[in-house]
Amino acid sequence: MKKFFVATCGFVVALAASAWAEELVTDDQGRSEVIYDVGLLHVAPGAQITYDYCTACHSEMIIAQQGQDRDGWDEILVWMVEDMGMFELLEEEREQILDYLATYYGEDRPFNVLNQ
Amino acid sequence: MKDHSTDISETSVTDVTSAESPARRNFLRGASLATMGALAGMTVPFHRNAPAGLVPAAFAQDDPLAGKDGLTLLNDRPVNAETPAHLLDDAITPTNRHFIRNNGLLPDTMDADSWTLTIDGFVDNPLELTIADLREQFEVITRVLHIECGGNGRSAFDPPARGNQWTVGAVACSEWTGVRLKDVLDAAGVQPAAIYTGHYGADIHLSGDPDKDPLSRGLPIEKAMADDVMIAFEMNGEALHPMNGAPLRLVAAGWPGSCSQKWLTRIWVRDVVHDGEKMGGQSYRVPAYPVAPGTDVPNEDMVIMEAMPVKSLVTFPANGAETGLATEVRGHAWVGDRLIEKLEVSIDFGATWQDADLDAPVNTGAWQNWRSNVSFPEAGYYEIWARATDDSGRMQPFAVDWNPRGYLNNTMHRVGVMAS
C-alpha cells in the first residue's frame, strides 16, 4: 500500500514537472540561462541556479521576500556556507547567483512578492 | 510559463473586506481525525484516542496551514505565517489564528506519551520528566499569555532587513495550560552560579544535519523564574498544534517569541549567557546605541533583546472596511514585563486623541483588550490610529527605530476606513 502511494506521488510529480517547458532567457547584459522551474522567483538569467541551490534546504518564498544589496546577499551566502550547511559554491556560480539576487531582489524590491 | 506569483500575492494583500468562507473555516475544525485520515488516503487506527482538535503531524507537514484559518503564508519551508489584524479580534486568540514562526522542520514525532524533558546543567538534581510527570508532580496552571515574534513589523524597515517580512500579525494571546518553569527549576535546585537558561527543541535543521540546531535560545534566570513563564502542554484547552510546538513548549510572555522554545526537550541551566543557535551575532540582538538606518553595526556592539516594547493593534474595523459615521473601534495592547496604562485613538492622523476603555490583563502576561466609539464628522476616508502608553511612560512611536535585523518595530497601527 505504502509503495503504491509513493509510486503514485512520483507519477504526479513527474506530470507536474513536465508542465514546465524549458525556456532560454537572456538579459540586456547578454547573460542567459535555461529556465525549467523557479517557483515564485522572477524569471531571468540566474533564477534557475539560484532556485536549485537554495531550495535544497529552504523554500524560495523566503528569497522572494527580501530586499538586499549585493553586499547584503554576499553576507547571506557566506552565512549559508559557514553556518547553515550549504556547500561551497564555485566562484562563477556564486557570481551568477549574486548578480541575480542583487538585480531582482535589491533594496528597492522590484519583484518582491509583498509588493505584487 | 506558469506564473506562481499570484499564489502568494493573493494572500499577502491584507484581505480586509472579503467575507471568510464559513464552509472552509468549519471544515478543519469540524473534521475528525478519522475524516482527515480518510482524506489523506489512510486509516488512523487510534483516532478515538486522539484529543479533540488534534491536527495529525503528517498532515500538518504536507499542508503548512492545516488547522489554521486565514493566515498569510510567508514561507512554506520553514513554515512562517502571520494573522491579518482583523482576524486577531478575539480576546483570546483561537489556535487556528495563532501565528507560526518556525526556524526548522517539524520533528519526526510529536508523541505526547513518550516525550521527555531534561533539566540539567547548574542544578542539584538533574531531572528527566515525561508530560505525565509534569502533570503529576507540579501545580498545573492555565494562563492567558501573549507571544510576539521579535521581528514582527520587519516589513516596514527601510532599508529592508533580512528575514521574514512580517507586517503586524506575528502576535497572539492564547490560553496555555502547563506548569510554571519556576516550579520545575526549583525542583531541580538551581545553583547560585546559574545565570541563564538554554533551551533545546526537537525540530530539525533545514540542512538535515542532526548536529545543528535550528534555534536554541534562553532566558536570564530572573525571567525564567518569573510567574509568566510556563512549560505548556495545552493550548486553548486542547493538545498543542503541531506548528505551535506540540506536544510541549515554553511560553515566555512578553519576550521575543524565540524565547518560547517549541517542541521543548531540554533546559540547560548555565553559568554563562547561553550561546546556542541565534543567541549571538546579529540574531535577536539590537545595537547598544542609536544608529542611522542602513548602518553596519559590529557584532560586539549588539545586545540581546529582552522584554518586548509597548505596542497595540486595531482589530476592528478591518483595514479598508466601509463604515457608518460612527463605529466601535477595538483591539489589544501589550508590553513585555509591564502594564499598559493608557490607550488612545485618533481619527485625524494624530492631530487629536481620545482615551479608549482599557481592560486590565486577565492575568500577568496577557494582552489588554480595549475599545472606543468614534464618530466621523463627514463622509470620507479616515485613518484610525491606536497608541498605547505603558506604566513607565513609554509610548508607541510613529516612525521605525531602525536596527540591522528588523526587530522591535512597535510603531502605531493604522487602519484606513471609508465612512459614509
Question: What digits encode the pLDDT tens for the residues B238-254?
Answer: 999 999 999 999 999 99
B71-94 residues labelled b (16+ CB within 10 A) or e (exposed):
bbbbbbbbbbbbbbbbbbbeeebb
3-state secondary structure of B329: strand
- The minimum CA-CA distance between A78 and chain B, rounded to whole Å, is 14
Q: Residue B176 is placed in which grid cell?
A: 496555555
pLDDT number for residue B32: 45
Q: Would an 8 Å CB–CB cutoff place B4 in contact with chain A?
A: yes
- The minimum CA-CA distance between A99 and chain B, rounded to whole Å, is 18
A15 is a domain residue:
no
A104 is a domain residue:
yes
Q: How far, in Å, CA of B32 to CA of B35, rounded?
A: 5
Q: What DSSP state is assigned to residue B7?
A: H
ipTM of the complex: 0.83
Quick check: A91 pLDDT over 90? yes
Total tally of structural domains belonging to chain A: 1
Q: How far, in Å, CA of B138 to CA of B59, rounded?
A: 33
Quick check: B166 pLDDT over 80? yes
**Is residue B44 very low, low, confident or very high in pLDDT (cuts 50, 70, 90)?**
low
Q: How far, in Å, CA of B299 to CA of B407, rounded?
A: 15
Once rounded to an integer, what is the mean pLDDT over residues B267-282? 97
Q: How far, in Å, CA of B51 to CA of B32, rounded?
A: 10
3-state secondary structure of B291: coil
- The minimum CA-CA distance between A67 and chain B, rounded to whole Å, is 6
Q: Which domain holds residue A74?
A: 21-115
A68 is a domain residue:
yes
* Chain B neighbors of A77, CB-CB under 8 A: none
Integer angstrom CA distances of residue B380 from B262, B326, B347: 46, 12, 12
A48 is a domain residue:
yes
A6 is a domain residue:
no
Q: Do B155 and A23 touch (CB under 8 A)?
A: no
Q: How far, in Å, CA of B155 to CA of B164, rounded?
A: 8
Q: Residue A111 is placed in which grid cell?
A: 519583484
Domains defined along chain B, listed by start: 17-50 (no CATH), 116-304 (3.90.420.10), 311-419 (2.60.40.650)
Q: Are B57 and B43 in contact (CB under 8 A)?
A: no
A14 is a domain residue:
no
A3 is a domain residue:
no
* Chain B neighbors of A63, CB-CB under 8 A: none
Give per-residue pLDDT as tens, A20-64: 679 999 999 999 999 999 999 999 999 999 999 999 999 999 999
Q: Would an 8 Å CB–CB cutoff place B212 in contact with chain A?
A: yes
H and E: helices and strands count for chain A: 4, 2
The whole-model pTM stands at 0.86
* Chain A neighbors of B73, CB-CB under 8 A: 61
